Amino acid sequence: MKRIGVLTSGGDAPGMNAALRAVVRACAYNNIEVEGIFQGYQGMIEGDFKRLNERSVARILGRGGTILKSSRSKEFMTKEGRKKAYDNLKKHGVDGLITIGGNGTFTGAHVLYQEYGVPVMGIPGSIDNDIYGTDHCIGFDTATNTVVDAVDRIRDTATSHNRLFFVEVMGRNSGFIALKAGIATGAIAIILPEDEMTVEELIETLRATEESGKTSSIVLVAEGSKSGGAYEIARQVNERYDEYETRVSVLGHLQRGGAPSCYDRVLASRMGVAAVDGLLQGRKDVMVGIVNDRESYTSLEEAITRKNLPNRDELRIARILAI
């Protein structure tokens, strides 16, 4: 392997730059050239390539976002789009590809391998943390800490006004952020797509805690919750229970920004090096992960068809403590 291409795709996540840096430097260490592919798969189709060396990735370790930029390319979902993308890989002499992203990113990489035999290696970066084959995805730790900081602030005003707040956090199909941040901020209830609490159960909890003297509360809602998000749940609760004045706060994209935490920087650095190691060992069509503190590789097929699920014990703990 002489030249590796690298891209970031899908929703960005804090620590993607740290992963890119690790890939580029591990390649330089092994005398392999790197083509940075900008704008994800769309840039691959449009030929947006630029040669990177160890100095091109200086001072990005602690920067949020992705200097490679990202996209969700519709064109890459077509055969014609992928043909153009593959032609550009050949034109630039790329003989291995590292893709940093989530499920959609890996689905694209897997198809590229199946159709054209390109050796592909995935690095899981997604604040949703739902990718199978790794204990944690790059960006999740930072995003969760951002949420904890925001909810702590909301707690102050909720307490001052004796209010009930519904705070919606990201997680398209996943409740990892809601669950971890919910425990860390003492939420009265956590609504996750993987284990939905009904509105009746929620009202029961609110009533019981109010009777024991609670004067304000925070409910964390994952955006992917089947009950319809924070506004809808607040509306349904208000219809049947009006002891509290309520407010809704949707945290949105601020969760995806900011400097990566120490944990994410280290995770991304380890995964970036392991991705290059894996390609050099002849691994392809796989994703690198860290499982029980060890580098490991999972087939992309498995990574995209299975899903990490939040820990049920943590959900139980959250319910015990919300008393």
Residues labelled as active-site residues: 128
Binding of residue 96 to ligand F6P (CB under 6 A): no
Q: Taking Cα atoms as reference points, which of 148, 121, 55, 151 lies closest to residue 285?
A: 121
Min dist CB 165 to ligand F6P, Å, is 20
Count of residues near ligand F6P by CB under 6 A: 10
Residue 256 binds ligand F6P, judged by CB under 6 A: yes
Q: At what angle do helices 176-185 and 312-321 cross, to 10 degrees?
A: 30
Looking at 167-175, 270-278, 292-300, 303-311, which segment touches ligand F6P (CB under 6 A)? 167-175
For residue 180, state whether it binds ligand F6P (rule: CB under 6 A): no
* 161 part of the interface to ligand F6P, by CB under 6 A: no
Burial of 187 (0-12, 13-18, 19+ CB in 10 A): buried
228-262 burial, b at 16+ Cβ within 10 Å, e below that, comes to ebbeebbebbeeebeebebbbbebeeebbebebbe
CA 172 to chain centre: 10
Taking the complex as a whole, how short is the minimal distance between the CB of residue 221 and ligand F6P, in angstroms? 13
SS3 50: strand
Single out the residue of 127, 188, 202, 288 in contact with ligand F6P (rule: CB under 6 A): 127
181 versus 276: smaller Cβ distance to ligand F6P: 181
Site for ligand F6P in 209-248 (CB under 6 A): 223
Cβ atoms 286, 295 nearer than 8 A: no
In the bound state with ligand F6P, the residue whose beta carbon lies nearer, of 11 and 272, is: 11
Least gap, CB of 294 to ligand F6P (angstroms): 26
Among 73, 99, 126, 225, binds ligand F6P (CB under 6 A): 126
Where does this chain touch ligand F6P (CB under 6 A) — which range of 148-156, 168-176, 237-245, 260-268? 168-176
Report the nearest approach of ligand F6P to the CB of residue 175 (Å). 11
Nearer to ligand F6P, 4 or 287 (CB): 287
Of 113, 24, 105, the residue nearest 60 (C-alpha): 24
CB atoms under 10 Å from CB of 2, counted, come to: 10
> Does residue 172 belong to the site contacting ligand F6P (CB under 6 A)?
yes
Q: What is the DSSP string of 94-141?
A: --EEEEEESHHHHHHHHHHHHHH---EEEEEB-TT--BTTSS--BTHH
Q: How far is the CB of 213 from ligand F6P (least distance, A)?
A: 36
Match 């199946």 to its residue by tokens: 114
Structure letter (DSSP) for residue 197: P
Tracing tokens 């993987």 back to the chain, one arrives at 194
Least Å distance between CB 256 and ligand F6P? 6
Which residues sit at the interface with ligand F6P, rule CB under 6 A? 11, 102, 126-128, 170-172, 223, 256
